[in-house]
Structure 1
C-alpha cells in the first residue's frame, strides 16, 4: 500500500463520522438547529406602516365630485378659508381596468402668499387621502387627472 492512502483514509473516515454525528445528534434529529435559524428569521418585525389618524371635519368650504376622462381636463376652484384649522379630504375612484392609466393631481395655492402645495394620486396610493391645512386666506385649487372620479371635501377640522 502506498503511504498516501493511510492518511487519506483516516481523513475520509473522520469526515464521514463528523457528518454522521451532526445528523444523528438529538439537535440534528429534531431539526432544532434548522428551527432555531428559521425562528430567528421569522422573529424579525416587519416594517410598521404609519397611517394618519382620521381627520374629523365639520363645516364645508367645498364639497364636489369631479370626473376626468382624459389628460387635458383641468378644473379650477377658488374659495376663501376663514378657519386656520382646515383639511383637504378626497377619494379617488379609478374608471379604467388598467389602473396605471389612472392618476390625479391637485395643486392648492394660497393667493395671498403664492405658496402652493401639490397632492398626487396614482394607482399605487390609497384611494382615500386626507391632509391637514393651517393657513387662512383665499385659495385656488387646480385639479387635473385621467380616468378617475374624485370626491373632494374641503372643510373645517374638528378638534
Structure 2
C-alpha cells in the first residue's frame, strides 16, 4: 500500500479534492515509513512414511529410565518420528533423549526433548546400516516410529 501511495505522489497525480473544488489540498508527508518485520515460524512439513522398521510406545514413568533397541535399516531414505506425552503436571520435570548410533560406522547423533520443544518431532535420516537406539527419559510417554520415507 505504501508503494502505491508513493507511486501516486511521484507521478504528480493531482485530482479534485474530495472536500470539493477550490479547497486547498494538504500534501501528504513523504517521510520514510517505519518498516516492521514479523518473525515467521517455519514448520517442517510432515514426512511421508512407508514401511515401518519400528512402531512402539515407551513409558518413562520414573527418573532416568532407559530403553535400548537395535534395528537394521536397509533403505537410505528413512526417518525417526516421535511424539512425547508429559506424565507430570509440571512439564519442567519431564524430558527425553535418544542417542542413535550407526554400529557399522560408530557415528552417533542425539535427539532431545524438553518441555520447551514441540511434542511432535521428526528427523529424516540418510544412511542404512545396523543402528542402536538408546533412549532415556523422565516422566514421559514416547510413541516412536522408524520407517522408510516416501518420495
- Which band: TM-score by shorter chain? 0.7 to 0.9
Q: Deviations over 1:13-35 (max 9, x none)?
A: xxxxxxxxxxxxxxxxxxxx9xx
Match of 1:17 in 2: none
Give 1:96-107 correspondences, 5 Å limit: 96-107=88-99
Structure 2 partner of 1:141? 133
Q: Which residues of structure 1 form unaligned runs of 5+?
A: 1-32
Q: Which runs of 5+ in 2 are unaligned?
A: 1-28
Matched-pair contact (CA < 8 Å) for 1:87–1:154:
yes
Q: Which has the higher helix share?
A: 1
- Rounded Cα–Cα distance in structure 2 between residues aligned with 1:104 and 1:47: 28
Larger Rg: 1
Corresponding residue number in structure 1 for 2:53: 61
Structure 1 partner of 2:121? 129
Length-normalised TM-score, structure 1: 0.73
Q: What SS does the aligned partner of 2:104 have?
A: coil
Q: How many residues align?
A: 123
Runs of 4+ in 1 over 3 A off after TM superposition: none
Q: Cα offset for 1:115?
A: 0.4
Q: Is the counterpart of residue 81 in structure 1 residue 97 in structure 2?
A: no
